Amino acid sequence: MAKHKTPLLDELESGPWPSFVSDVKQEAEVRAKNEKGVNYQIPVEVCEDLLGVLELSYNDGETHWKHGGIVGVFGYGGGVIGRYCDQPEMFPGVAHFHTVRVAQPTAKYYTTDFLRQIVDIWDMRGSGLTNMHGSTGDIVFLGTTTPQLEEIFYELTHDANVDLGGSGSNLRTPAACLGMSRCEYACYDAQGLCYDMTMEFQDELHRPAFPYKFKFKFDACPNSCVCALARSDFSVVGIWRDEIRIDQEAVAAYVGGEFAPNAGAHSGRDWGKFDIQKEVVELCPGKCIKYADGKLEINDKECMHCMHCINTMPRALMIGNDRGASILCGAKAPILDGPQLSSLLIPFIKVEEPYDEIKEVVENIWDWWMEEGKNRERLGETMRRMGFQKLLEVTNTKADPRHVQEPRHNPYIFWKADEVDGPWERDVNEYRKRHQR
Amino acid sequence: MAIVEFQGKSFDVDEDGFLLKFEEWCPEWVDFCKEGEGIKELNEEHQKVIDFLQDYYKKNGIAPMVRILSKVTGFKLKHIYELFPSGPGKGACKMAGLPKPTGCV
């Protein structure tokens, strides 16, 4: 018998999609029965009280969590999101309901051994509820009490050999697409770079030292499966700079209907026979593909690396062999001065261990932003306030037409004093000798 | 919210152990907090950090950015964590009696 009546939540148990309500109820039942004899360290009824407080919020249309919460583990300035219920007498099981961010393996490949190990820790010391995963990438342990934080941290680090993720004004947990592990479009080892950068900058991740949060994300090609361009201050996107490799026989197989376009992604509907002219050639944004006499040609100099042709005919068209990445900066959500996608900073950089060139770009940006960034100002906002030119200077990047979508249309152009003949300081009396008042 | 009693003084605190009123701060508060923040004995360097946080807060109405704290005290962030294991926000600001840090933490 459930502790609280939840008629509104019960509605969410119907329908075909996996119901979070059914799952939480199942966990509540497992805890109540405790067939494994777990020595629960937080209230057994935590899951039931969570459903109870959620039902109350469904009724009121208001949240019932108090503002903020500052908890953590010694040595770190982040990693745990403190949370307290604003009805602790009614729902004592969630009076404390802190969230622990746990560092995930890049691209989220797991063994059941590892997952069982961390779940055992969480069953005993937490609510048994998780978020797999937070949007930044972390494994999220949802709901525990303050005294358990150090205990959880001890067991995670000593037994499971895994660290906390990031929170606060620091480097947040980096994430990558699954990259070369199982994608033929990967232009660099996104997982390798993600792991290496995460380890390199552990200090910046665990102890907030920045004006505001800062995120890395690593996409191995412009399809952007981890959404680096939209969701990271420092976005690394794989690219090639030689020719797209063409297998003419495979092209013929697509035209002949042996291979399904887009690897069959549109097979749920009859779009007619594959028309290479209409579906590939005419959709190319660079207008640099020709198909004549059964032969596909690409003028790679005009190719924008948009991935469309490769996505459509993956068995016939392959990324080039001279591979690397572009670095783009400044993506952020709307607060405070409007949303931004990342802007192209480094058009092409080789991605090779130990990734020193990429780290140098990061460190140059940090040196500048840590000094000049205002309190709670994202990199994208600092770029806007101080100018893209400044970012180029601090990263020793030469301005390039690729840095803009279009040139400025206003004439408010700043010059440096040493770029102009004569000094800025002029004597008005000299001027008056030639121009009467 | 709760009231804690220590050495004849009483303090209004929130769940995270932050003082609700900066005016209630007194040296006993630091003694009361230190154990919970992993500090055995306070030295001059701890005091320097606490003094600066309080001065800055009185003057500006906010806590200083980490960078400013480092610059003025001359302590690198690493050293601040050696002094205050839970960091400048949860550790030093709490002991100095400043309001709880907010935002996306």
Amino acid letter, A111? T
Mean residue pLDDT across chain A: 97
What pLDDT sits at residue A44? 97
pLDDT tens-place string over residues B33-73: 999 999 999 999 999 999 999 999 999 999 999 999 999 99
Instruction: Using an 8 Å CB-CB cutoff, list chain A residues near B77.
Output: 207, 209
pLDDT average, residue stretch B95-101: 94
Alpha-helix residue ranges (DSSP H) falling in A61-145: 112-125
pLDDT average, residue stretch A263-278: 98
d(CA A277, CA B57): 67
Residues 6+ apart with CB under 8 A from A434: none
Q: Are A322 and A241 in contact (CB under 8 A)?
A: yes
Domain A245-318 has CATH 3.30.70.20: yes
Does A322 score more than 90 pLDDT? yes
Q: How far is CA B40 from the centre of its chain?
A: 15
What pLDDT sits at residue A394? 98
ipTM: 0.90
Q: pLDDT grade, residue A411 (50/70/90)?
A: very high
Find the helix or strand (DSSP H, E) in which B13 lies: strand B9-13
Residue with tokens 């479009």: A185
> Any idea what DSSP says for residue A131?
E
Domains A175-240+322-417 and A245-318 belong to one CATH topology: no
Domains of chain B from N-terminus onward:
2-96 (1.10.10.370)
DSSP characters over A329-377: E--B-STTT--B--EEEEEEE---TT-HHHHHHHHHHHHHHHHHPPTT-
Domains of chain A: which residue ranges? 7-158, 175-240+322-417, 245-318
Closest C-alpha among A215, A246, A364 to residue A312: A246
d(CA B90, CA B84): 9
Closest alpha carbon within chain B to A77: B87
Q: Which of B62, B81, B100 sits opposite A207 (nearest CB)?
A: B81
DSSP characters over A85-107: BS-TTT-GGGSB--EEEEPPPGG
> Any idea what DSSP says for residue A323?
E
Dihedrals φ, ψ of A323, to 5°? -110, 160
Q: pLDDT grade, residue A1 (50/70/90)?
A: low
Q: Are A13 and A6 in contact (CB under 8 A)?
A: no
Subunit contact A77:B67, Cβ cutoff 8 A = no
pLDDT average, residue stretch B77-92: 95
Q: Are A44 and A124 in contact (CB under 8 A)?
A: no
Q: Are A65 and A16 in contact (CB under 8 A)?
A: no
Dihedrals φ, ψ of A362, to 5°? -60, -50
Q: Which fold has domain A7-158?
A: Alpha-Beta Plaits (3.30.70)
d(CA A176, CA A232): 11
CA distance B12 to chain A (A): 16
- Return the sign of the alpha-carbon dihedral for residues A86, A39, A148, A51: negative
- Residues listed for chain A: 437
Subunit contact A72:B15, Cβ cutoff 8 A = no
Q: Rounded to 5, what percent of chain B is helix, strand, coil?
A: 55, 10, 35
Subunit contact A75:B105, Cβ cutoff 8 A = no
Q: Are B29 and B11 in contact (CB under 8 A)?
A: yes
Tokens for A391? 């970012």
Find the helix or strand (DSSP H, E) in which A219 lies: strand A216-219
Cβ-count burial A320-355 (b if 16+ within 10 Å, e if not): beebbbbbbbbbbeeeeeeebebbbbbbebebeeeb
Closest alpha carbon within chain B to A206: B87
Check CB contact of B99 with chain A, cutoff 8 Å. Answer: no
> Any idea what DSSP says for residue A179?
G
Q: What residues pair up with A99 in beta bridges, in sequence order?
A: A81, A142
Dihedrals φ, ψ of A290, to 5°? -125, 140
Domain range A175-240+322-417, CATH class: alpha beta
Q: Check if B104 is active-site.
A: yes
pLDDT tens-place string over residues A205-261: 999 999 999 999 999 999 999 999 999 999 999 999 999 999 999 999 999 999 999
d(CA A331, CA A313): 31
> Which residues from A are below 8 Å from B when comparing CB atoms?
66-78, 81-82, 84, 96, 167-169, 203, 207-211, 213, 370-371, 375-376
Instruction: Using an 8 Å CB-CB cutoff, list chain B residues near A70.
Output: 16, 18, 89-90, 94, 100-101, 105
Closest C-alpha among A176, A174, A189, A226 to residue A362: A174
Closest alpha carbon within chain A to B76: A209
What pLDDT sits at residue A234? 98
